[in-house]
Each structure stands twice: as C-alpha cells, then as structure tokens.
Amino acid sequence: MTDRSKLVSIVEKLIDARVLCIGDVMLDHFVTGEVERISPEAPVPVLRVTDEQAMLGGAGNVVRNLVSLGVQTRFVTVIGDDEAGQEVARLVSELGISDAPITDGGRRTSNKTRYSAGAQQLLRADWETPVSLSSEIEQRVVEAAMGALSQCQALVLSDYGKGVLTDSAVAKLVKTASKEGKPVIVDPKGADYSRYGGADLITPNRRELAEASVMPVSTDEEITAAAEAIIERHAISAVLATRSGDGMTLVAANGASQHLPAEAREVFDVSGAGDTVAAVMAAALSTGVSSEDAVALANVAAGVVVGKVGTAPAHSGEIIAALHHQDISTAEAKVLTRSDALNRIEAWRGQKLKTGFTNGVFDLLHPGHVSLLAQAGATCDRLIVGLNSDASVKRLKGDDRPVQTEAARATVLASLASVDAVVIFGEDTPLELIEALRPDVLVKGADYAMADVVGADAVQGYGGQVVLAELEPDQSTTGTIAKINRESA
C-alpha cells in the first residue's frame, strides 16, 4: 500500500509538472429553474429559468483539473465560429492558458445544454458536428500540438469522438511523444483501441473496457483479463480501468496488476471523474512518479470529485485534505474537504445558521490563537477555519516551518469548542476558499487594516460582514520558537 504522506509530497510537487492536453472540448451549459405548471401548448412542463451556468467540458474538464492541480498546462483543441466557441475561448483564457482554440468555420462547437428543475434533469440538447477534421484543420492541430509538446513532459489525449483526434493525428502524436520519452495517457472513445497503439496508458471505464475487449468485466479477475487482452492486441503499455463505486484496477504489460478500492465517503455525481483520473495520472507521471503511486493519487482525486455535485475538478488542497483524512482521528468529523464544507454550509444555511470564517497557519497553538477563535466564534453560529497546508506555509514562512504538520494542526483546531469545521487549503491566500464558501462573516486579527484583509472585498460585495478581532499582546508562534531557540542555545 502506498504511504499517504508520500502522496502528499507528490501533490505538492505537481506545480513543476508541464502537461499538454489535446482533444474534443465542449461547452457544458446548465439551465436551472422551477416547474409550476404544464404548458397549454403541449403536455410538457414549463421551466421558469432562475439560473444559467457554463463551464468547459470534455477535454476542457481535463484541463480544468490540470490547472486546479497547479500544473503548467497547454491545450490544443478546435471550436466552431459561433457563440459557443467564443464562450469556450473565454473560459480557456480565464484558466490562464495561453493557447487559443483553433477555429474551424465548417463545424459547430460541441454544446451540451441541460435543463433541470431542482435535482431533476428535464432535457438535454446537443449542438455539435461529430465528424473528423478536414486535412487543413488537422494539419494546424498537429503543428500546434508538436510545438506545445516540445515544452511539456507528458501528453493527454482526451477523446470524446467528436473528430479532433483523427487516426493520423493520434499516430503522429503518440510516435513523437514516445520517441521523446514523454508518457502518453489516453482517455479513450469507441471500441477500436488500435488507434491508440503505442500509448503508455489508457483509462477506460468498466463499460468502455467491456466494449473494446468484447469480454466480461464483472470481477477483479475479469477486469484484469480484459485489460491484458487490450494490452496484447494493441501494444499499449498499461490499462487503468475505472470502476465507479468499485474503485479502479491498473494492469501493466508485464503482468502486474493493482486493485484499489473506491476512496469516496459519499457519492453525489460520478460525471467528470474519468477526466480527473486522466489529468492526475498525466501530471504525476510527468514528474517521474511510479505508476503505482500515480494510480493511488488518482484514486484519491476521483474520490474527491464524486463527492461534488456536477462536473467539478479536484483541487490540490482538497486532495491533500482527503489524504490526511485517515491521519486525523480526533474530532474527525470537523476536518472537511472543500466539497464537504460546501455541503455542510448548505445544510447550515437551510437551518438559518450564520457562518463565519477565519484563517491562518495556527502552528504551536497559543493563547492569542484561542482568543481569536473565541471572538470569531462569537460572531456567528458556525465557525469555519481555513488552515494553510504544509506546502503553503513553507512558501510563506520558510523551509523550517511549520513545526507541526497540517494533520496535527487540523486535529488541534478541530478539538476546540469554538471551531465547527476545518478546511485545509494549498494556495498562498484563502481568497479562493472564501469565494467558494461565501461566509456571512469574515474575521481577522486587528493587526490587519481592513483594506489588507484577504477576501474582505468579496465578502462585503455579497453583503457579508468583516470583523477585526482584538489581539492578545506578546503572543506569536515566531516569538515562541525564538524563545525556545534562545533557551536551548
């Protein structure tokens, strides 16, 4: 079994990874509302729209996962000359990716619009041109991909069967990447895997593996046999079969196999989990991590995303929090992943409870920390504490900090009566976490000016409150460490 603390260090190193993703991008469009009557024109419900949301889907979701892991990401894809294509280009740019999608005036951008009332989906409408690229556009894709590949350490082919990954383009890309010693990870489509010959890893789900192998896939033994058949037929180095609630199985060309149980504690939505697995495998393998460790990490990441509603990426902080879950025994129910915290907050809001938020390193908990947390808890009904991960503390305070691991710090915080939830975040500031949680009250120490409080503008922007708590004099972890060093000198 892979050491989970080792996996934490792998996650922290993914910011050094450079990965190229090529494939079929889609615009996932969600229209939600309420149904209160049946149409007088036809026996169909009338949806009164209350909200709309658009996000990158298909290969775009692989890219979202890569960016959420901190990976330096390149992206080559094709859109149509239409409104959906413009939206895709905007969303790609917002991720900080420099590659603009290639525009093909002869095709429509894949656009999947889902209409829902509450948790019930009423209809899905698809607009797309699922045909292979013209030779001219294919050449542009290959040229762009070759240029980007020279700057990357791994290649992901995200195939949704919409035409971007033509047989000839796949063959050229796999050959070039293999020649340069760069792993090729394929999220496959269809039953013919010969087009992926020479790839290092393919990641079919159980149904796709059954279709491609034409073999049963009910048990561990059947999964292994089907994967071995794929490897032998198509000269693929390894197969990673994702099995939803049954976890995943890695089978290598040398006959080695590895079965991992599912990591999710609660499953809300399995959509997009395959994209997460492909992204994590590519990022990990690109940094020289072993296949066994990469699969263990991908399994944890998949457990994170299926605990979210809708297609959503796994953030590095969430994966680290999930990895620490088994290490944290005291007050375990209070130490949450970001997605768990969102679900908990939604329940609290349903009970009309006010939520508060504060954050910090909380290394060597002292009376000043206790006072701050007590004051923060007094401003709200439920207090959430954002805790800097070990990696972010090192970036902010140096290699000799923190003194205690994030698991230890989270355990101590969770044992306090004033704290209702602890969420570990890997970014340098808690802004992203604050924007996701949207607390009613944000609390920081009075040593901050209001203008310098990270997240203050966001909280005040939606009508929330920012409070500056009084500080206990002469209390700091840095001062405590300095005193210990002086006395031990």
Question: How close are the terminal C-alpha atoms of the chain, in Å?
Answer: 42
Backbone angles phi, psi at 78, to 5 degrees: -130, 135
> 180-214 burial string, b = 16+ CB within 10 Å, else e?
eebbbbbbbbeeebebbebbbbbbbbbebbbbbbe
Beta bridge partners of 114: 30, 124
Beta bridge partners of 355: 382
Backbone angles phi, psi at 214, to 5 degrees: 55, 45
Asked if 76 and 145 count as a contact pair (C-beta separation under 8 A), the reply is: yes
Q: In whole angstroms, give the CA distance from residue 260 to residue 299.
A: 7
Question: Which is it for the CA torsion 153, 157, 302, 291, positive or negative?
Answer: negative
Helical pair 273-286 and 291-305, crossing angle rounded to 10 deg: 150
Backbone angles phi, psi at 336, to 5 degrees: -120, 150
Catalytic residue among 99, 187, 200, 275: 275
Asked if 277 and 262 count as a contact pair (C-beta separation under 8 A), the reply is: no
- Output the DSSP codes for 68-117: HTT-EEEEE-EEESSHHHHHHHHHHHHTT--PPPEEETTSPPPEEEEEEE
Tokens of 250: 């890695």
Pure H helices in 199-267: 206-213, 220-234
146 Cβ contact partners less than 8 Å away, ≥ 6 residues apart: 172, 173, 176
Q: How far is CA 132 from the centre of its chain?
A: 30
390 is catalytic: no
Say if residue 432 is exposed, middle or buried (CB neighbours under 10 Å; 0-12, 13-18, 19+): middle
* Active site positions, annotated: 275
